[in-house]
Structure 1
């Protein structure tokens, strides 16, 4: 039962990141009108540095796909973790309205990382 829950949650998690990454390339989700000014200031460097937004989008797409596939889920969790930290920090410092979903996504990412800790052990050996 636990594996089924992890599978369903992982597919939803991966699809969310796949969607977010694709949106960075195709801009099919409009930016809300009521974004706080301090959040717009944070997003400005992403728009001005031409390679940063596509790189983030590409990592979200790759990480999302890896997260969906059970065999590569451990790698997907590692790829997405730095992005997830950025999402949580942005929601902590600039705009707390997205904090509940950010914390849920962080918890899912941490859960998968913990479930796969044996796969990471060789990387941590001397």
Structure 2
């Protein structure tokens, strides 16, 4: 039962990151009209660095796909981890309204990583 629940949650988590990565490339979801000014400045700064957003998008897409596939879930979680740290810091310092969703995503990622901790053991020897 636990494996089925983890698969469904990993599927939803992976799909969210795939969608986020695809949106960074194709920009099919409009930005909110009431976005705080400091968040607009942050987005503009990220866009000024021309290679940053495409890199994040590709990592989100690949990491999202890998999280969905049980055999590669641990690798996908490692790829998404630094992006998740950035998401949390962005919502803590610039857009607190999105913090609840970011915390839920961080909890899911933590669950995935804890469930795969045996695969990470070699990294810490």
User: For this structure pair, what is the TM-score category when the shorter chain's length is used for normalisation?
Assistant: over 0.9
Answering whether residue 63 of structure 2 is matched by residue 63 of structure 1, we say yes
Aligned residues: 125
Q: Give structure 2 stretches of 5+ with no counterpart.
A: none
Equivalent position of 2:79 in the other structure: 79
**What is the CA–CA distance in structure 1 between the aligned matches of 2:86 and 2:64, rounded to whole Å?**
16
- SS state of the match for residue 65, structure 1? helix
| RMSD of aligned residue pairs (Cα, Å) | 0.6
Distance in 2 (alpha carbons) for counterparts of 1:25 and 1:43: 14
| Secondary structure, counterpart of 1:79 in structure 2 | helix
In structure 2, what is the equivalent of residue 31 of structure 1? 31
* Cα deviations by residue, 1:13-54 (Å, 9 ceiling, x for unpaired): 000000000011111001111100011111112111110000
TM-score (norm 2): 0.98
Q: Which residue of 2 aligns with 1:90?
A: 90
Aligned counterparts of 1:105 and 1:124: Cα–Cα separation in 2: 25
**4+ residue segments displaced more than 2 Å:** none
> How far apart in 2 are the matches of 1:115 and 1:29?
33
Q: In 2, distance between residues paired with 1:123 and 1:17?
A: 25
Which position in structure 1 is the counterpart of 2:101?
A: 101
Structure 1 gap segments, 5+ residues each: none
CA distance in 1, matches of 2:123, 2:106: 22
Deviations 1:76-100 (A, max 9, x none): 1110011011101110001111011
